[in-house]
Amino acid sequence: MEFKTFVFYVLSAIMVFSALRVITSRNPVQAALFLVLAFFTAGGIWLLLAAEFLAIVLIMVYVGAVMVLFLFVVMMLDINLDRLRQGFWSYLPVGALIGVLLVVEMALVLGGRYFGLEAMPTPPAAQGGYSNTRELGRLLYTDYVYPFELASLLLLVAMIVAVTLTLRKRKGVKYVNPSEQVLVRRDERVELISMSAEKE
């Protein structure tokens, strides 16, 4: 067994274990930390596949931004876990059915003739000056430019909808209207009063 294959199996085992701990852990903070471990090992597998840019983006975006924000929210909120577990057993049959369907689908995909080492030939060796980051950018902005722009548009709409849903007008809160503030003149705000000096 080659060293690269050994590292792949070790990283895969760690990732499968951490993914199982994400869904079986009772503590949400521990589940989030196991998800961070899963992202790190997925980045290591991307490095083995010579996709350095995707590995760094996975670690920087998901571990460095998304998971830190998620951990912050989980640790700041007072989550009542007992209340969340009250209706667990009533949803178990539906969850078990979906789990069985996922296992059947994965078995069909992994057992098919279009999935395996013979269906995925070894890619040619990279020539001098090859950059997978440049190739990824070229593919995104040439062959897949419309799906890329559609995904960015969907993310923009999702961001606007999230801001709109959380925006609430509160009564009794003072706020400044910028358009009215710009149109104000000095004569309307400042009044000069001449007073005679007083002596004691």
* Separation CA 198–CA 200 (nearest Å): 7
DSSP assignment of 8-49 equals HHHHHHHHHHHHHHHHH-SSHHHHHHHHHHHHHHHHHHHHHT
* Separation CA 176–CA 62 (nearest Å): 37
- Tokens coding 174: 């003072």
**The residue type at 155:** L
One digit per residue, the tens of pLDDT, for the chain of length 200 reads: 788 888 888 999 999 999 999 888 888 788 888 988 999 999 999 888 888 888 888 888 888 887 877 777 777 766 666 666 677 778 788 888 998 998 998 888 777 776 655 665 666 676 777 787 888 888 888 899 999 899 999 999 998 988 888 777 777 777 778 888 788 777 777 777 888 877 77
pTM, two decimals, is: 0.57
